[in-house]
Amino acid sequence: MTVVRADEPGREMVKVDGRDGASRIWICDAHMPKGQAVGLHRHGGDEIFHVRQGTVRFHCDGQNVDVGAGNYVVVPPYTEHGFKILTDDAQMQFVGEIGMGEWVTVIDPGGSRRQVEVRSTHMPWHRSPVAGETPDMAEMFVMMQSTVHLLDDQPGEKEHAD
């Protein structure tokens, strides 16, 4: 058994992961400013979000849904998703599988879509880099920016296929 102090240095976001003896799950907290968004991506495992305070817009498989405090969002494996913080007071906790992988959706200037796997040792959900690969977290966030505009659509509005 491991007792984890959530306020310990280095645990600002990732609260529990493999360094604590967890072999299958991790837990994170998110306290992000209004307007911040995580672009579309998918994982090879389950991810569950708990909106603890405020309102967060989730995009799952082409639909936007605004989710308020006290509710959960369950994202099955390989489901494309992202989210945007809608209120100043939003707080979330989310749980997923260690090493489930992350594939970022990129919309190129011509409108074509592609999936790019991000590998790193920085996030518990990422798979480890392969030999000779250098993780670039800044590049991952740049790639995610190509889809954050889809989180601006009001719930019920469909994504436009070009």
Taking the CA of residue 141 as centre, how many other CA atoms within 13 Å lie in the half-sphere pointing to its CB? Answer: 5
Is residue 24 a part of any domain in this protein? yes
pLDDT at 133: 84
Is residue 36 a part of any domain in this protein? yes
In a domain, 2, yes or no: no
Residue with tokens 């984890």: 4
Domain with 39 in it? 14-152
| CATH at 64 | 2.60.120.10
Q: What is the CA radius of gyration of the chain?
A: 16
| More confidently predicted of 39 and 157 | 39
**Is 158 within the bounds of a domain?**
no
Q: How many domains does the chain have?
A: 1
Segment 17-24 shows an average pLDDT of 91
Among the listed residues 70, 18, 81, 13, the one whose alpha carbon sits nearest the alpha carbon of residue 47: 81
- pTM for the model stands at 0.89
Q: Which of 8, 96, 11 is nearest to 50 (CA)?
A: 96
Kindly report, residue by residue over 126-153, the tens digit of the pLDDT: 999 888 888 778 888 899 999 999 999 9
